[in-house]
Structure 1
């Protein structure tokens, strides 16, 4: 969470695609704890990783980001 905001929808998209945090961490070759932080919005993935995640999950990058949270 950045300033109390959930900026990404990674956890939701992973559930919709029936993929796990562990699967994603293996695909991205990063620590499972890193993906966990992204899923809980404790931290945000860098843009390059976000683009890779969108490609891996076959979604538009806009589906991963909650732009309305920026307005609050």
Structure 2
């Protein structure tokens, strides 16, 4: 599970902008943000770089998933 949607909202960034920066379709980025799909590790690192955050900030800790 990821926090891409939350991080985008915190930074005031639109999914369409991220899609353009990432070179992916809006539908793909929207799927990531809705946790319907998970980005590859490579894409996760690219997203973190684009958003200027650490990769771990885009992920939900396993312990929080089980609660």
State the match for 2:2 in structure 1.
Answer: 8
- TM-score for the superposition, normalised by structure 1: 0.85
Aligned residues: 66
Distance 2:64 2:24 in 1: 27
Matched, 1:25 2:19: yes
Deviations 1:15-59 (A, max 9, x none): 111110000000011110000000000000000000010011111
- TM-score for the superposition, normalised by structure 2: 0.91
Within 5 A, what are the aligned runs for 1:1-72? 7-68=1-62, 72=66
Runs of at least 5 residues in structure 2 that lack an aligned partner in the other structure:
none
Compute the RMSD of aligned alpha carbons.
1.5
